Structure 1
Amino acid sequence: MATRERGLEDGCLAVTFERKYYHRGGAFIKRNLRPREYRIGYRGLHIPRLGKERLINEAEALRYIRQNTDIPVPEVYCDFEDDQAYYVITEYIEGEDMASLSVEQKAIVARELSVHLAKLQTLRSNRMGGPSGIVIPPYRVMRRTAIDYWRLQVSNSVDEYVFCHNDLSQHNVIVDPDTLKIKAIIDWEYAGFYPAYFEMPFYTRPGPSIAIDGEVDDSERLLDFLMSKTDRAAWMSPGW
């Protein structure tokens, strides 16, 4: 969860254990923490996993969605690396997140969201991972494995995998509070082509994009699938 702290530089909205967020004019900026900015948690020093790679993946996913669908997502102005931090600069989207709405309002938004998800799954590929070429599994899978870099087999079927957001919680849906129309779906760091069942409808209830009490935890199934598709020859090749 992002927190607002005293002592942040001008324009910085919030900082987490992995990111800093800024709002400047019509731009929204997010970047990973530099090593000297890593924070101490209850388990000691927190070292973010794939901080740069997830941002690269998000920037490319946003561009891909804008180019291939009419799903509302922020425009990417630029992304770049500077002094050990990777920056993604997008348009700033005014609105309320879905989590702040009433139950009745959320139901209206969910109906529109289901239409966008159907469009998203018309995008298909025979390769898993994002348009960036980087494989960033859903967070609920990353929690179960220490593997950060994946080499996965290419499918013989050109349309086996569909495009998934993979982090579609209510906090990642920005809505016009007056019309209840979706203005943007945000936070595409874990997005990419995967089996359709990777896309769990976490937006149907409050909370994070992991199984909570009373829900079936599918993360082991997803991890087993990825492991079964591992290109072991590539892993064992020189330079891997």
Structure 2
Amino acid sequence: MDSSDNISQLRVIYNKGDHIVLQDEERKTIHKCGKEGFKIYEALTLIYINDNTNISVPKIRSIQYEDGRELNVRYDEAGKSTNIRYEDDKVYEVKYDEQGKSTYTPCGNDDVVQITMGFVEGDTLEKVWKDFTYDQKEVLAGDLKRYVSELRKLKGEKIAALNDGKVRVLSGSRYAQEGGPFESREEFNQFLELIGEEDAPQGCEEFVFSHGDILPRNILVNDQGKVTALVDWEFAGYFPMYWEYSRASRESKDWKEFLLLWVFPDKREWGYTEMKSLNIRS
């Protein structure tokens, strides 16, 4: 994977700027490559979600750094990682010597050039949504509602990405903006206003883990409507509870109505009356 010859043999499935996503059909792997602005957060998030929830996500195989370091992720028979630890919002690689003594090496957030993950079967919901039947939507909604419920059980003390990283928000300019970590919702609101976002309700509530971009293009499904994987976690982190619906409801009207009726029927219970953004009005 280190040579340009190997890279050229892979199928390009996404290419924008200096970020590219490649598929190795023989090895059944996906490779996300990048330079400027490419960080470890998404890979660590996928490992974290895999280890702490029952949400279907691609399994991270390895993380490669610009200086040549490579973090290979190992899994046990239950499919949980065995050499990654999370402590005090930090992430560590765990290594054991011959005597079984462990050493913890911090995982750096920056200078990542490639993330390799396992390939997951399924069509993007974006591709098949227009033909989805009522029964398929019912299956899909059940999965998404359960996933959101599981994510809400993961609590944070601040608004931040995993590993105490900066949050990434797709602003009205369609470019990702970074900020934080934020100790309070007031600080986060100031950041949102600064980048031209209106999703800044007032009040106090707990911070829960959110995917941050639950749109049809990031959901893989089978022909029954079951979610085979939730992908693209680059905007994930700990946010106020309203955030997941706010971000997900930016899509077409029918997708927004589906979310409101099938996935987030409780949104008025967690601050709907405070919300001002056009994105989150029914």
TM class by smaller structure: 0.5 to 0.7
3-state SS, counterpart of residue 160 of structure 2: coil
TM-score (norm 2): 0.57
Report matched runs for 1:12-161 at 5 Å: 12-14=11-13, 15-24=15-24, 25-32=27-34, 34=35, 51-53=37-39, 56-82=40-66, 86-101=113-128, 102-104=131-133, 105-140=136-171, 148-153=178-183, 160-161=206-207
Partner Cα distance (2:228, 2:218) in 1: 11
- Which runs of 5 or more structure 2 residues have no equivalent in the other structure? 1-6, 68-110, 186-204, 257-276
TM-score (norm 1): 0.66
Report matched runs for 1:172-187 at 5 Å: 172-177=218-223, 179-187=224-232
Contact 2:160 2:180 in 1 (8 A): no
3-state SS, counterpart of residue 112 of structure 1: helix
Letter in 2 for 1:171: R
State the Cα distance separating 1:151 from its structure 2 match: 4.2
Q: What do the CA deviations read for 1:60-118 (whole angstroms, capped 9, x no partner)? A: 11111111111111111111223776211111011111122223234531232111111
Contact 1:98 1:109 in 2 (8 A): no
Aligned residue number for residue 42 of structure 1: none
Letter in 1 for 2:37: G
Aligned residue number for residue 196 of structure 1: 241
Letter in 2 for 1:162: V
State the Cα distance separating 1:143 from its structure 2 match: 5.0
State the Cα distance separating 1:168 from its structure 2 match: 0.8
Partner Cα distance (1:133, 1:142) in 2: 26
Larger proportion of strand: 2
Letter in 2 for 1:110: A
Letter in 1 for 2:278: V
* Runs of 4+ more than 4 Å apart: 141-145, 203-207
Provide closer, same or farther for how the CA distance between residues 217 and 167 of structure 1 changes in structure 2, counting only shifts above 3 A. same
3-state SS, counterpart of residue 138 of structure 1: strand
3-state SS, counterpart of residue 150 of structure 2: helix
Identity of aligned residues (%): 22
Partner Cα distance (1:96, 1:87) in 2: 24
Letter in 2 for 1:9: S
Aligned residue number for residue 169 of structure 1: 215
